[in-house]
């Protein structure tokens, strides 16, 4: 799976992003931001959600406009 979303359960924006991706049928891997805090800060990401496709951080809009490639 090429799309990853880092978040935490209490984050409204994280839950909203996952809901929108699911509604569009876009597959993604959910990862806990707390468990991956060192990685996220090492790539300069300090707010949630963090959406990564391949090795690039992308916006929710970019993720929603992608095709669901496997």
Chain-wide mean pLDDT for the chain? 93
Q: What is the pLDDT of residue 3?
A: 96
Q: What is the pLDDT of residue 66?
A: 80
Measuring CA to CA, how many Å separate 29 from each of 1, 32, 54?
A: 7, 10, 12
Q: In sequence order, what are the beta bridge partners of 4? A: 29, 52
Asked whether residue 70 is assigned to any structural domain, the reply reads no
Alpha carbon dihedral 17, 66, 69, 23, in 10-degree steps, equals 40
Asked whether residue 69 is assigned to any structural domain, the reply reads no
Whether 70 has a pLDDT exceeding 50, the answer reads: no
Sheet containing 50-53, strands listed edge to edge, beginning at the edge strand earlier in sequence: 29-32, 3-7, 50-53, 56-58
Per the structure, the count of domains in the chain is 1
Q: What is the pLDDT of residue 67?
A: 60
At 64, the pLDDT band (50, 70, 90 cuts) reads: very high
Measuring CA to CA, how many Å separate 32 from each of 12, 13, 46?
A: 14, 14, 14
| Mean pLDDT of the region 20-38 | 96
Asked whether residue 12 is assigned to any structural domain, the reply reads yes
Q: Which domain holds residue 48?
A: 3-64
């Amino acid at each position: 799976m090429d799309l990853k979303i880092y978040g935490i359960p209490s984050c409204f924006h994280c839950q909203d992003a996952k809901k929108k991706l699911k509604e569009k049928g876009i597959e993604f891997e959910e990862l806990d931001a707390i468990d991956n805090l060192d990685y996220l800060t090492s790539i300069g990401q300090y707010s949630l959600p963090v959406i990564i496709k391949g090795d690039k951080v992308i916006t929710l809009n970019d993720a929603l406009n992608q095709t669901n490639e496997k």
